[in-house]
Amino acid sequence: METKPADAVVWVPAPQEHFTGNVWFGALVGTDVDSGLQIVGVRFAARARTHWHSHPQGQILYVISGSALVGTRSGEVARIEPGGSVYALPGEQHWHGAAGDSDMVHLSLTRGEPTVWLGEPVPGDTYPAPAADSPSV
């Protein structure tokens, strides 16, 4: 068994060419490199977000703290609260980040081929603030 206390997780800045705002990655115990499973903690400052991207084998996001926003090309935007999760289908173009009212931390679970970055940021003036009736998970 291998354990790692919370204060031993090393958080490094995410590459700015794929993110808007302050975002950090934290490598966690339990990542199974041999099977290609990647589990990463990701911290987003309020309103920080990914650029448009997809994952060849899909992606699971599990929100630990704060409120996440996740959007798709179809225009769907969901607000995900702590304990909630979302599954982006294989190849589905999407973005995710922190809502405007709080920082957010989620786990990202992917496997297989690397993320496909589309080179398109989600502009700040159009970054959504979902209405009260937006779906929450």
In this predicted model, what pLDDT tens digit does every residue of 77-119 receive, in sequence order?
999 999 999 999 999 999 999 998 889 999 999 988 899 999 9
User: CATH fold of 23-115, please?
Assistant: Jelly Rolls (2.60.120)
Q: Which residues of 99-130 are buried (b: 16+ CB within 10 A; e: fewer)?
A: beeebbbbbbbbbeeeeeeeeebbeeeebeeb
CA distance 81 to 65: 7
What pLDDT does 129 receive? 60
Torsion of CA 92, 122, 44, 97, to 10 degrees: -40
What pLDDT does 30 receive? 56
Tens-place pLDDT, residues 5-51: 888 888 999 999 999 999 999 987 655 555 678 889 999 999 999 99
What is the DSSP track for 62-77?
A: EEEES-EEEEETTS-E
Instruction: For residue 98, give the nearest of 124, 137, 69, 123 by alpha carbon.
Output: 69
CA distance 23 to 88: 20
What pLDDT does 53 receive? 98
What pLDDT does 133 receive? 42
CA distance 26 to 17: 18
What's the rounded mean pLDDT across residues 53-72?
96
Residues 122, 49 contacting (CB under 8 angstroms) = yes
Please give the model's pTM, rounded to 2 decimal places: 0.87
